Structures are given as C-alpha cells and as structure tokens.
C-alpha cells in the first residue's frame, strides 16, 4: 500500500498554479489547526452555540495534542522493535489483499456494512429518535406530508405545538428548511420505517464515494479503498445520519452527482449529465449551499477530466443542457414550494423565519452579532480542529495530515486535485456563512466527510511515500510514520470511534429519548415545559420573526417578555392596548441576569426587581422540573389529522388550556409532568391533579 505508484505522482498534475494553490492551502490548514484562532471569538457575549463551539474546540485541541504524543511514543518503540522492511512488506501485502476483492463485492459490502452500523447506532444508542430540534421539526413536518399535507394547520391553537425552527405562514405551518429531506423522511413514514432513512442514505453515500474513488485514483486502488473504508466507519458521518439530520441527504446526493459526472469520462450517453443534474437538484432541495458547492466540484470534474478530450463547444453545451434538464424538476418544485409558503420562488424558509441577515456574507447575523473576516477565520479554525478529531476519532489530527501532504507533495494527479477540491470547497463556502454549529462535530462540514475521508487516506499514505528509507541512529523515519498512522487508525476504529458513538447514548440528551405516554382512548395530554419556551412559542405562533425574538429574549427579563407576548397576541387578534416597554435594539447591549429554576430551565430577571403575581406563578409551576415536547410531537396524533390515540400539546396555563380542551371535547385531558422530587421520572396524571400540583 505504501509503495509508490508508477503514475500517481505525475498523472495530470504538474507544478502549475493549481499545485502551488494546494501547497498554500496546506499551509493555511496547518496554521488554522495549530493556532487557536477560535479563542479570538467574543466569549463575553456568547450564547449557547458559541460556548459549545469554544468548549468543543478546546477539548479537541487537548485530546489531539496528548493523543498525538502518545501515538508517536508508541510508534518509536514499535518501529525500533520491528524490521522496517517487514513493515513495508506487510503494508504492501495488505494493499494487495484489499485490491484483490472484486469491485462489486467490495463497494456493496462496504455500503451495507455502513448502513448496518448506522442502523445499530440509531436503534441502540438513540432509541431510533432524533436528538436535535433541526431533525425533530423536519420529522414533524414529514408526518404531515406522509398524511397528504405539505404542512400543518395554522390557527389560534398553534402555540400549543409550535416548535423552534418552524414558522406560521398564510398557507400553514412548516419547518424553515427546504423540503427535500422532509419528503425523504415522509417516504420513511409511509413505509413505516423512518429509522431506515439515515442508514440507507449512508449506504448510498459510501457506495457512490467508493465508486468515485476507484475512478479518481485509478493508479492507486488500495488508497481509494482505504479512503472508502474510512468513510464507512466515520463516527462523524454515522452519528448525524443516525440522528436523522439532513446533512447526510445532501452528502448522498453530492456523491451521486460526482460519480455520474465521472462516468461521463468514458460513457457518451446522455443519461450521465442528466443524472448529474438530477442529483444536484435533489441536493439543492435539501441544502442549497451544499448543492452549489457540489456543482462547482462537478464543473471541475468536467473541466479537468474531459477538457483534454472535449474541447469543442458542442460538447460542453451538451453536458450543461443535460445537467440543466435533470435539475429543473427539483428547482421548479422548490420554487413552487417557496412561493406557496413564503411568497416567492426565491424566498426560502430561512429568510421568512429569521430575516434577511440569515444569508451569506460578512454582516451582523440575525441575532445581532457581527460576522466578519476575523470571525470567519476564527470559526473556521474551530471547524477544522474539531473535524480533525471527529472525522475518524484518530489520535492524530486528520486535517494536519492532509495539510502536510499538500505542502510536501511535489505533483498531484488529476484525481488528487479533484478530491482536494471536493473537500476544500465546503470549508471555503462555510467561511462566508455565519452559522457554525457543533453537534456530534462541526456539522456544517458533514456533507464534505466523504471527500475528507478520501483525502485523509491519500495524505497519510502520501506522507509515508514521501519519507526516506534511510535510517538515522538506528531509527527509520518511514517506519515510524507508517506505524504511527497504523496505531492511530487502529485505535480510532477499534476503540475511540465506538466510544464516541456509545457516548451519544445513556445520559447524553436523555430527555429526547423519553417515550411519550400512550392511552387506549382519545386523550389530550398537556406536557409542562419551560416558562421561557411558553413565551417564545406564543410569539412564534403569532408571527414574530426569530431574529427579533432572539434579541428580545436576551435583552429583557422573561417576565417583561411574557407581558410583550400577551400584548403581541392581543394585537394580532385586533385588541389594542399599550405596548410594553421592551428592548429589541441589538446595539444597546442591555443584559439581564440568568437564574436556574430547574434542570435545563433558565429565566432572565433583574436581581431585586419584584415579580408580578402572574410571573411568580409561572416560576412556581416550573420548580419541580420541565419536559420539552419537541421529541414527542412526531410520535403521536397531530392537529388537523385523524387519530384516536394520544395527542401531545404544550401546557400553556389553565386559562389557555381551557380553550383547547373545549376545542377537543372527545379527548380526555391529562397531564404529563415531573412531580416534586422527580425520582420516578415523568408521571401521567389526571388533568385536575396536574392543575393542583403545577398551577396551585
């Protein structure tokens, strides 16, 4: 596997401008990982997302530093004990065994393996349920789609089941996300196997990535297969797929697009550009930015691979027309969806829900924080550092390995150039996007995991090949590096990666795996969540945009914001009263103190400021503990759909609840809440008992 290939260093490469661009990029990658630029982010005004980013980056930095030192020490000892020539022979023999497996058997077996691992992770660690609100809200909309509706009803009762990252439009309730992944989840519901959606998409991604790697690295099949294996066992990719996140759908569509574009190298049939465009269109319906980046990769493939053979204009026109025809149905469908719900074909739910500042570029984000070039570098530093750890869970940083390879490689094959573009373009694109969330890793780079897995394999093997055979003081640098990579990868695959996936079970976000209560007769079960959540959902249900909401909840006390929510709802209903004095100016820098009422239940208040009777009652109702309804809704009866079982709704207080109970006279009202003490977990009790305990 480590023996140099006859063509791998020269084919299609050369020392032209692109080689120097990759070398410069390698230097940038190393600097962004080694230097803790993320520490320059403003932690004094940090929200939960930024705090999680900083914490994850610091932890990854520490683990990679000590992990690398341990691996290097172990490699020094083992390389001293073992014969360097035998190490080389073992690697070559391993590569030959890997490439001896028939291609079809290898790619299909690897795809099935990755799908099975993802399914096992989702079932045993996550109980087959989503863990982040992004996936929960798409699961909820998928339930409506599976029942024949594009979205949910929008009426005066929406606040009882409204979720974050969703919005009320003139034509109904929907999530803020493009509809592609929602429809894939709806297909899972129609087949009664939604838990298979993520594993199937993982299998598709691994299948087409492996096929693409074989074409991109024709002279290096062992490295191509090694990279495919790394992807199939990547805990970063498996984790988000098992949690129903839409990143895996975008990755699957992009991998299909790359493969179909490569097929056009030796197959002139019109089907391949057509399928390329269709795959890009599907990716656009899931994550538009990911589709645009994948489209740039496809164009690079057609320029690099086909440029030497297809120089006439008609060839390029034929490719572009085929791709356009394939993509148009998806683009038209997304445009029609946007127009139906958000007022225009080019207006996405993100903008409707969060305002115009949600877009790309350097400006204030929707929550009032400035995002400029310095912030972009700092966040990218965090992304690359955490990607180095989460991608494969190896003790040695994957991005550093790639960066060093790009620096020291003299010439790149065309396949290596294209894989590098496939991996690096998403990093560059995300530099211009203000949102850099951490969830099971830097999730905005999850779609790029296939390319990064391939590039890591290329980089590791390439660094070994670039190292001299000469020995210094009885030590062989080539043997040390080889053993270090083997130890690091073996430790990641057999211990660290499984440990990471196991860590997502147990106490980690355990509340998302609570089973909703079920009753034999029609019931209306009120779940008592956080006071701040009741306030926020009332405002979202009445049309307040998320950018205003985030600033308002941060800069006012929860009591003040509840008064505003009551006024806002009354104003929407046509009742004119005096507007409460609340602050929505992000420049004012007004901050209120945070107090913990119960576990995962915080409010904002001014110390020493007296509370009104209504606000005091809200605090008392939360004191025993809260349960968030987000993970329940997609599993039970929904408003506007037929059903004779359990309907979960948010407890909005006795007065508001009474109106909902009157609307569903055939359902028996009950309460699901954490009793005082909370040792026995949530309890299902009669409505009268719940009122007495919570709203006394």
DSSP per residue over 232-285, as a string? HT-HHHHHHHHTT-THHHHHHHHHHHHHHHHHTTT---THHHHHHHHHHHHHHH
Is residue 158 included in any domain, yes or no? no
Domain end position, chosen among 607, 623, 651: 607
The answer on 447 and 585 residing in a single domain is no
Give yes or no for a contact between 345 and 338, defined as CB atoms under 8 angstroms apart: yes
The answer on 263 and 400 residing in a single domain is yes
Which DSSP state fits 184? H
Question: What's the half-sphere exposure (Cβ side, CA atoms, 13 Å) at 72?
Answer: 9
What's the count of helices (H) and strands (E) in the chain, helices before strands?
A: 26, 10
Which DSSP state fits 433? -
Is residue 686 included in any domain, yes or no? no
Is residue 143 included in any domain, yes or no? no
* Residue whose pair of structure tokens reads 């600097």 in the numeric block: 31
Give yes or no for a contact between 285 and 179, defined as CB atoms under 8 angstroms apart: yes
Per-residue pLDDT of 13-44, as tens digits, reads 445 788 899 999 999 999 999 999 999 886 66
Domain end position, chosen among 486, 503, 520: 503
The answer on 219 and 102 residing in a single domain is yes
The answer on 540 and 432 residing in a single domain is no
Convert 217-245 into a string of H (helix), E (strand) and C (coil): CCCCHHHHHHHHHHHHCCHHHHHHHHCCC
Using DSSP's 3-state secondary structure scheme, residue 198 falls into helix
The answer on 548 and 497 residing in a single domain is no
Chain centre distance of CA 114: 18
Chain centre distance of CA 572: 35
The answer on 545 and 468 residing in a single domain is no
Chain centre distance of CA 52: 15
Is residue 94 included in any domain, yes or no? yes
Rounded CA gap, 316 and 311, in Å? 8
Would you state the structure tokens that stand for residue 225, as one six-digit string?
Answer: 């297969």
Give yes or no for a contact between 258 and 298, defined as CB atoms under 8 angstroms apart: yes
Rounded CA gap, 183 and 291, in Å? 17
The answer on 391 and 486 residing in a single domain is yes
Is residue 141 included in any domain, yes or no? no
The answer on 350 and 234 residing in a single domain is yes
What confidence score (pLDDT) does residue 68 get? 94
Is residue 42 included in any domain, yes or no? yes
The answer on 545 and 451 residing in a single domain is no
Domain end position, chosen among 562, 585, 607: 607
What confidence score (pLDDT) does residue 12 get? 45
Angle CA 285–288–291, to nearest 5: 95
What confidence score (pLDDT) does residue 10 get? 38
Q: What is the DSSP string of 145-158?
A: HHTT-SSB--STTG
Question: What's the half-sphere exposure (Cβ side, CA atoms, 13 Å) at 55?
Answer: 11
Chain centre distance of CA 362: 22
* Residue whose pair of structure tokens reads 């020995």 in the numeric block: 471
Query: Which pTM value belongs to this model?
Result: 0.93
Is residue 524 included in any domain, yes or no? no
Long-range contacts of 421-426 (CB under 8 A, 24+ apart): 421/296, 421/297, 421/300, 422/258, 422/297, 422/448, 422/450, 422/451, 422/454, 422/455, 423/448, 423/451, 423/452, 423/454, 423/455, 424/25, 425/293, 425/296, 425/297, 426/290, 426/293
Give yes or no for a contact between 82 and 479, defined as CB atoms under 8 angstroms apart: yes
Is residue 109 included in any domain, yes or no? yes
The answer on 570 and 485 residing in a single domain is no
Question: What's the half-sphere exposure (Cβ side, CA atoms, 13 Å) at 192?
Answer: 0
Rounded CA gap, 130 and 122, in Å? 9
Q: How far is CA 14 from CA 11, 425, 618, in A?
A: 8, 21, 69
What confidence score (pLDDT) does residue 574 get? 80
What confidence score (pLDDT) does residue 189 get? 97
What confidence score (pLDDT) does residue 85 get? 87
The answer on 313 and 428 residing in a single domain is yes
- Using 50 as the pLDDT threshold, list the residues of the chain that sit under it: 2-14
Contacts of 73 (CB under 8 A, 6+ apart): none
Give yes or no for a contact between 375 and 444, defined as CB atoms under 8 angstroms apart: no
Give yes or no for a contact between 275 and 298, defined as CB atoms under 8 angstroms apart: no
What confidence score (pLDDT) does residue 555 get? 85
How many domains, the chain?
A: 2
Burial (CB < 10 A; 0-12, 13-18, 19+), residue 537, is buried
The answer on 99 and 42 residing in a single domain is yes
Q: Which domain holds residue 463?
A: 17-125+176-503
Sort strands 601-605 and 593-598 into parallel, antiparallel or unpaired.
antiparallel
Q: How far is CA 44 from CA 39, 41, 50, 487, 592, in A?
A: 11, 9, 10, 40, 14
Which DSSP state fits 589? -
What confidence score (pLDDT) does residue 13 get? 46
């Amino acid at each position: 596997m480590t023996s140099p290939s006859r063509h791998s260093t020269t084919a299609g490469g050369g020392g032209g401008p692109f080689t120097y661009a990759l070398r410069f990029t390698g230097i940038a990658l190393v600097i962004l990982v080694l230097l803790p630029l993320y520490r320059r982010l403003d932690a004094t005004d940090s929200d939960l997302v930024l705090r999680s980013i900083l914490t994850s980056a610091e932890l990854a930095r520490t683990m990679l530093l000590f992990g690398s030192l341990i691996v290097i020490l172990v490699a020094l000892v083992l390389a001293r004990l073992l014969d360097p020539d035998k190490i080389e022979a073992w690697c070559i023999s391993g590569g030959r065994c890997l490439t001896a497996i028939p291609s079809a058997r290898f790619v299909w077996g690897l795809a099935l393996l990755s799908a099975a691992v993802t399914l096992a992770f989702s079932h045993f660690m996550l109980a087959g349920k989503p863990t982040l609100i992004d996936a929960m809200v798409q699961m909820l909309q998928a339930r409506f789609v599976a029942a024949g509706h594009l979205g949910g009803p929008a009426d005066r009762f929406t606040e009882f089941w409204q979720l974050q990252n969703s919005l009320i439009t003139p034509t109904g309730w929907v999530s803020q996300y493009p509809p592609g992944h929602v429809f894939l989840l709806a297909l899972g519901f129609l087949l009664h196997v939604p838990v298979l959606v993520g594993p199937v998409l993982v299998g598709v991604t691994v299948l087409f990535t492996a096929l693409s790697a074989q074409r991109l690295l024709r002279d290096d099949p062992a490295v191509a297969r090694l990279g495919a294996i790394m992807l199939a066992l990547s805990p970063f990719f498996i984790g988000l797929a098992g949690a129903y996140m839409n990143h895996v759908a975008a990755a699957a569509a992009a991998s299909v697009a790359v493969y179909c574009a490569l097929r056009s190298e030796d197959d002139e049939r019109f089907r391949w550009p057509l399928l390329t465009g269709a795959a890009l269109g599907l990716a656009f319906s899931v994550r538009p930015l990911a589709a645009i980046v994948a489209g740039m990769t496809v164009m690079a493939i057609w320029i690099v691979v086909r440029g030497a053979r297809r120089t006439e204009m008609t060839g390029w026109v034929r490719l572009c027309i085929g791709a356009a025809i394939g993509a148009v149905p998806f683009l038209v469908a997304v445009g029609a969806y946007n127009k139906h719900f958000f007022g225009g074909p080019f207006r996405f739910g993100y903008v409707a829900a969060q305002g115009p500042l949600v877009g790309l570029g350097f400006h204030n984000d929707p929550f009032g924080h400035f995002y400029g070039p310095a912030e972009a570098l700092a966040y990218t530093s965090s992304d690359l550092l955490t990607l180095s750890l989460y991608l494969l869970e190896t003790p040695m940083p994957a991005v550093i390995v790639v960066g060093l390879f790009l620096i020291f490689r003299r010439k790149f094959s065309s396949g290596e150039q294209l894989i590098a573009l496939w991996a690096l373009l998403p990093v560059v694109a995300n530099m211009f996007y203000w949102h850099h969330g951490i969830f099971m890793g830097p999730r905005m780079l999850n779609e790029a995991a296939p390319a990064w897995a391939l590039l890591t394999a290329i980089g590791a093997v390439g660094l070994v090949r670039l190292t001299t055979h000469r020995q210094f003081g009885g030590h062989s640098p080539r043997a040390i590096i080889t053993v270090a990579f083997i130890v690091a990868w073996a430790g990641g695959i057999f211990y660290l990666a499984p440990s990471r996936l196991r860590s997502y079970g147990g106490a980690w976000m355990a509340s998302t795996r609570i089973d909703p209560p079920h009753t034999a007769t029609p019931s209306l079960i009120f779940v008592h969540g956080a006071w701040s959540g009741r306030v926020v959902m009332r405002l979202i249900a009445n049309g307040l945009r998320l950018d205003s909401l985030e600033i308002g909840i941060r800069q006012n006390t929860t009591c003040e914001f509840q008064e505003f929510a009551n006024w806002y709802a009354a104003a929407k209903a046509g009742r004119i009263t005096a507007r409460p004095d609340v602050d929505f100016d992000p420049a004012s820098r007004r901050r209120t103190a945070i107090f913990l009422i119960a576990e995962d239940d915080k409010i904002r208040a001014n110390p020493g400021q007296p509370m009104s009777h209504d606000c005091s009652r809200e605090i008392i109702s939360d004191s025993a503990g809260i349960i968030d309804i987000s993970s329940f809704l997609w599993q039970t009866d929904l408003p506007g759909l037929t059903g004779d079982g359990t309907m979960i709704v948010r407890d909005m207080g006795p007065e508001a609840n009474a109106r909902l109970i009157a609307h569903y006279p055939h359902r028996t009202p009950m309460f699901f809440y954490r009793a005082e003490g909370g040792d026995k977990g949530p309890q299902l009790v009669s409505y009268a008992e719940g009122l007495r305990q919570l709203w006394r």
